[in-house]
Amino acid sequence: MYITMLPVILGGILNMLFVKTPLYRKLKAPIDCGKSLRDGKRILGGNKTWIGFFGMIVFCAAAQAGWGAVCLRFPDLCYIYFRFENTFPFNLTVGAALGFVYMLFELPNSFVKRRLDIPDGKTVGGIKGRVFFFVDQVDSLFGTAAVFAMLYPMPVWQYFLYILLGAATHLLVNSILFALKIRKNL
């Protein structure tokens, strides 16, 4: 499973590093355009930006294309992975799709958190905090696992195994990025 998930993991790390750059700060524009609903609460919040959204698409596409090149060079490493064509255009398309659904599946979580008065990029205590801590680890994985399932059909148990393994990996990567002071919180 890590062989298939590696481009998404790398794309996510690269996007996280990108959002720390001055270029990102210059181009940072929230997806919700700073708008609020009638209740006065932001739709998605300031952390969901167009440049971050498209950055994830670009970085996942690049990581997928790079991983395809590695697998061409070392076919024994990836013999299970490429059941489909391993071409540059196909890998760019798959990588872009993975980045797109990764970000798309994060948006409902942000919408709900704004309704519950959870500030952008912050955590809260209690049961609400524990629930959203878990949801933050798995929301985007439902979309990426669906892309994988379209590429090579898998049983339902394997789909959910991707999500659980992805959640554990997400937590580990976030912990490392937090320790390196790249992330502000887990």
Reported confidence tier of residue 82, pLDDT bands at 50, 70, 90: low
Q: Tell me the residue type at 13.
A: I
Higher-confidence position of 113 and 86: 113
Task: Report the pLDDT value the prediction gives residue 55, as an integer from 0 to 100.
Answer: 96
Which of 36-40, 81-85, 151-155 shows the highest mean pLDDT?
36-40
Task: Report the pLDDT value the prediction gives residue 80, as an integer from 0 to 100.
Answer: 58
In 3-state terms, what secondary structure has residue 101? helix
Q: What is the pLDDT of residues 155-175, one digit of tens each?
A: 999 999 989 998 998 889 888
Average pLDDT of the chain?
A: 89
Report the pLDDT averaged over residues 10-24. 91
| End-to-end Cα separation, the chain, in angstroms | 23
Higher-confidence position of 32 and 26: 32
The two three-digit tokens of residue 36, written as one number = 């609020």
Residue 186 has pLDDT above 80, yes or no: no
Report the pLDDT averaged over residues 87-99. 95
In 3-state terms, what secondary structure has residue 30? strand
The owner of tokens 């670009």 is 58
User: Phi and psi at residue 65, in whole multiples of 5°?
Assistant: -65, -40
Reported confidence tier of residue 124, pLDDT bands at 50, 70, 90: confident
Q: Where are the domains of the chain?
A: 2-179
Q: What is the pLDDT of residues 39-65, one digit of tens each?
A: 999 999 999 999 999 999 999 999 999
Reported confidence tier of residue 83, pLDDT bands at 50, 70, 90: low
Reported confidence tier of residue 25, pLDDT bands at 50, 70, 90: confident
Asked if 76 and 134 count as a contact pair (C-beta separation under 8 A), the reply is no
Reported confidence tier of residue 139, pLDDT bands at 50, 70, 90: very high
Other C-beta atoms within 10 Å of 138: how many? 17
